[in-house]
Amino acid sequence: MHKHSNQNEVLYIVEGSGEVTFELKEKLAMNAGDLVCLPADQYHSIQAGPDGSMMLLYFMRPENTSERRPGLKPCPAIMRLPGERG
């Protein structure tokens, strides 16, 4: 899980399906064509649906930073995206 303290994250689901898991809220299902705004300063993670395939676009300001949730070991498969700082 991670959060963006200083800005919202906007997702557009191009194809497939998935869900967003929040630390303090219920999961949110996402499907192709959905536009989703993830509020700043809330821990979340994004997973593809059952078939493991989802294509999305995400929009943030260039100075994007993210903060991993303390106390949890990050998954080794998770890598920072080009341009992501923090």
Cβ atoms 57, 15 nearer than 8 A: no
Q: What is the per-residue pLDDT across 9-34, written as a single tens digit (0 to 9) for each?
A: 999 999 999 999 988 889 999 999 99
On average, the pLDDT of the chain sits at 83
C-alpha pair distances (Å), 61 with each of 17, 27, 47, 53 = 25, 25, 22, 26
Is the domain spanning 2-68 CATH 2.60.120.10? The answer is: yes
Q: How far is CA 74 from the centre of its chain?
A: 14
CA dist., res. 73 & res. 86, Å (int) = 16
Residue-level pLDDT at 23: 86
Residue-level pLDDT at 61: 80
Average pLDDT over residues 66-77: 66
**Model confidence, pTM:** 0.75
Residues 6+ apart with CB under 8 A from 77: none
Domain boundaries, the chain: 2-68
As a whole-number percent, the residues of the chain with pLDDT over 90 amount to: 36
